[in-house]
Structure 1
Amino acid sequence: MPFVPQTRIFDVTDLDATAALAARLARRLRRGDIIALHGTLGVGKTSFARALIQTLLAEAGIVDEVPSPTFSLVQQYFLRPFTIWHFDFYRIDDPAEAYELGIEEAFAEGVSLIEWPERITPLLPEACLEIHISTDAPMSGRRRFEFRIPEIWEARLADI
């Protein structure tokens, strides 16, 4: 019988609550983790990724800006014990383009945060944590985060 991912829903009311959720996830990451951030334009994918990355940078004693990878397509943050790869695939047309951006290395050696993962669906492994972000009030901070948790993540996210 195939595994059916567990779904957990987190409703947040503002950007601070979004950052707190991202920070809780950040502290559970391991080398090789892949997080797919789904959602419409402007829903908060970059804000969530930025908060997660800033948490890890701060814990490493690094104060740095975390720009959106919209134009560069990928940003890297060299930390220990892994490098964070933040991808934005909004502007790619063919999943094969992801190879030119280092996706194989990212999946094997780093932690990958992927915005617009539907552009590379054939490349995403089953062990990918999928987070679907939505809102009924775009101008407010209210967001719904639906985590679709693969088996390999279940124990780590049990108390998130």
Structure 2
Amino acid sequence: MRIFKYEINGVVLTALFSILGIVVVIILGSYNVKDLTEAKKAEKVLEELKRLRIALEKYYQVTNEYPNLTLEGAKDNLRILDYTDKNGKLVSFAKIYGHDTLPKTPAVENILESNAIYNTDSFKQGENYGGWSYDYSGNTGEIHANLPINIYSQGIDWNNY
């Protein structure tokens, strides 16, 4: 009988260690999944930022000015910025950019997904609400993601990147 009791305790102990091991693996796995998800979000923002900057420069080469992305409604309909120049040629930031809306920065923590655009000449003091910070008034064409430092666990200072 005594041997049987130890065998039961051994089985119970083995089962408890197995369950504990599974829980640890699940927890560690969830951290890795979160890291991968955050890395993909950061990668998406970097890609969109690059595409926006290229489109802004192409637009500038055509018009010698930057588009007013801060115009009310432009973030959701870039076609409202379209105009015909003095030579009768259609100038369209949406066409140059290849999309009719500004991209959204992905949601994370307490920041919602957003394509809001904020006119600023000081990127060091971003509002960090998501979306984009853009220097339209200074006519520099400078644009940054309006996100807090390290928001996607990548160590990126978005106000300076």
Identify whether the pair has TM-score above 0.5, normalized to the shorter chain.
Answer: no
Higher helix share: 2
Task: Compute the TM-score of the two structures, normalised by the length of structure 2.
Answer: 0.23
Task: Compute the TM-score of the two structures, normalised by the length of structure 1.
Answer: 0.23
For the pair shown, which has the larger CA radius of gyration, 1 or 2? 2
Higher relative contact order (CA 8 A, sep 6+): 1
